[in-house]
Amino acid sequence: MDIFIAQMQFFQLDRCIILQYTDYQQYKIIVFVITFVQLQYFLITDLNEDVLQ
């Protein structure tokens, strides 16, 4: 869970960077996609770890 929180904080930084380069509509879409992909990634890695153990 700590890793997840750290990742989300990292992505907060990413969002600030993205915001500088895109207008707000694009920014919202990009953030949504990044967040969705991140969540999928974490779910998959959690499942894989459970299977491996």
pLDDT in tens, 1-35: 455 555 555 566 565 555 555 566 666 777 788 88
- Inside any domain, residue 49: yes
Predicted confidence at residue 16, as pLDDT, reads: 58
Predicted confidence at residue 8, as pLDDT, reads: 55
- Inside any domain, residue 37: yes
Predicted confidence at residue 4, as pLDDT, reads: 55
Residue 18 in tokens? 């993205």
Question: Which residues, in sequence order, are CB contacts of 34 under 8 Å at separation 6+?
Answer: 11, 14, 15
Residue 42 in tokens? 């974490």
Predicted confidence at residue 13, as pLDDT, reads: 58
- Inside any domain, residue 8: no
- The boundaries of the domain holding residue 42 are 21-53
Predicted confidence at residue 1, as pLDDT, reads: 46
